[in-house]
A and B are shown apart, each in its own frame.
Chain A
Amino acid sequence: MKNKSLVSITDFSKSEYMKILSLAEEYERKPVRNLLTGKVIANLFFEPSTRTRLSFESAINKMGGRIIGFSDSGSSSVTKGETLYDTIKIVSNYCDLIVMRHPLEGSARFASEISSVPVINAGDGANQHPTQTLLDLYSIKKTQGKLDNLTLFIVGDLKYGRTVHSLLMAMSQFNTTFHFISPEELKMPEEYKILLRSLGLKYHEHKDFTDIIAEADIIYMTRVQKERFSDPIEYERTKNAYVLKNKMLTNTKENLKILHPLPRVNEIEQDVDINPKAYYFTQALNGVFIRQAIISSILDVN
């Protein structure tokens, strides 16, 4: 992993993920470590994403690193028409690592090709967000004690949700049984189902969000956004059909945990928050440990 960019979840092997996950456990036990003294990390947020940026900043600060950068392109030379190429060429002279978020897909791959320092993709449009996927894996492993042979339910927007696709690709390496619950318009794309079939993994598709979740070890909730629907009437009809309510959890498994990449809108009712099966806020905290593990692996400071 040393000096390697992390752009897509497929850039790292299964054994590399596992190393990062166990390193994150060490950071959870002891988060404050002065391993990045003298290191400068550029956080380039070409579009705002407060939670992701704060999570990275928290991770870097806990390891004693320094941060340069900007939190949206409005406050940078990008507004003056500078190309991404020029920005990356210049900034990579100033730092040891670049963390970047950009609205255009493929921007992080391009940056990693031209940068003289490694690049961590903190989201490139609807394409990839690998640190989110690793924190999802960490949350699953931490709550279930393992990653293998689990039953994973994914609910909501399975068509456009990038976190869902990356999670599917990562979990497909652990003999997972998948259940997809979504409206017809937002079904899991065929290419991912082809991948699962080629790996001999079981998946089931459901239109209704019902007591079928009794089998779940993990329920991964996502937002169903209005702008994803071609037919607004269809949206009105389905918007409340994929909402998780506390009473739906009555007959679910003891070990079940509810995950959500956040922010949520209305897809998990607030009464779920006090249920011990709700895990989404802790999941967000895990993001700091996982980012500490990723940064320190790439900079080879452990």
Chain B
Amino acid sequence: MKDKILEVSAIENGTVIDHIPPKAFFKVIAILGLDKLDTQMTLGTNLHSKKIGKKAIVKLSDVFFPDKDINKIALVAPQAKLNIIKNYDVVEKRVVEIPDDIIGIVKCMNPKCITNSEKIVTKFKVVSKKEVKLKCLYCEKITDQDNMQVI
């Protein structure tokens, strides 16, 4: 039934982000700034997935993200799959890839870091991608996957 509803909302042109873990759903919305878009979109979560049990999906009409923007969601949804739709057809399938640098998005986990007390855009170097580890360019401490908090 759920699949049927999503079927109905198939889009003509745009981007479908599939296989988002439900717990990362709202983070993906925040990272991509979907709340600020005024295009047509369909969002669904806790949908049945053969692959990952439950999943969330985002369908956006007439929105195409540059790589550097879409790759940001790899921090919270590394297994997300992208379908680029043109004329109701999938013209491109992509996976997301963690970028080398993360600007903004993530909060430094070090409570004594200056970025947690002044208004500063955080900057991290990605030192490990397999098990995500980010090195803060200010305090030089590591923020790991378990402690990663999206701003």
Asked if residues A125 and B139 are in contact (CB atoms below 8 Å), the reply is yes
Most B CB contacts (10 A, CB to CB) among A84, A85, A104, A106 go to A106
Contact A110 B114 (CB under 8 A): yes
The number of chain B residues with a CB under 8 A from chain A is 17
Nearest CB in chain A: distance from B116 CB, A: 8
For B115, what are the chain A residues with a Cβ–Cβ distance below 8 Å? 106, 110
Q: What separation, in Å, do the CA atoms of A83 and B117 have in the docked complex?
A: 9
Residue interface bits A199-211, CB-to-B below 8 A is 1, else 0: 0000000000000
In Å, the complex CA distance between A105 and B143 comes to 14
Q: Is the interface of B mostly helix, strand, loop or mixed?
A: loop
Interface centre among A8, A83, A107 (most CB of B within 10 A): A107
Q: Assess A104 versus B119: contact at CB under 8 Å? Given A8-B140, A127-B139, A127-B140.
A: no
Contact B119 A106 (CB under 8 A): no
B110 CB to closest chain A CB (Å) equals 6
B113 touches A109 (CB 8 A): no
Shortest Cβ distance from B142 into chain A, in angstroms? 8
Q: Chain A's nearest CB lies how many Å from the CB of B91?
A: 42
Q: How far is the CA of A69 from the CA of B104 in the complex (A)?
A: 32
A43 on interface, CB distance cutoff 8 Å: no
Q: Judge whether B141 and A110 touch: CB under 8 Å.
A: no
Asked if A128 lies at the interface with its beta carbon under 8 angstroms from chain B, I say: yes
Contact A128 B112 (CB under 8 A): no
Contact with A along B85-120 (1 / 0, CB 8 A): 000000000000000000000001010111101111
Q: B interface vs A, CB < 8 Å?
A: 108, 110, 112-115, 117-120, 136-142
Pairs across A and B, CB under 8 Å, 16 listed: A85-B119, A104-B114, A104-B117, A104-B139, A106-B108, A106-B114, A106-B136, A106-B137, A106-B139, A106-B140, A107-B138, A109-B138, A110-B115, A125-B112, A127-B141, A191-B142
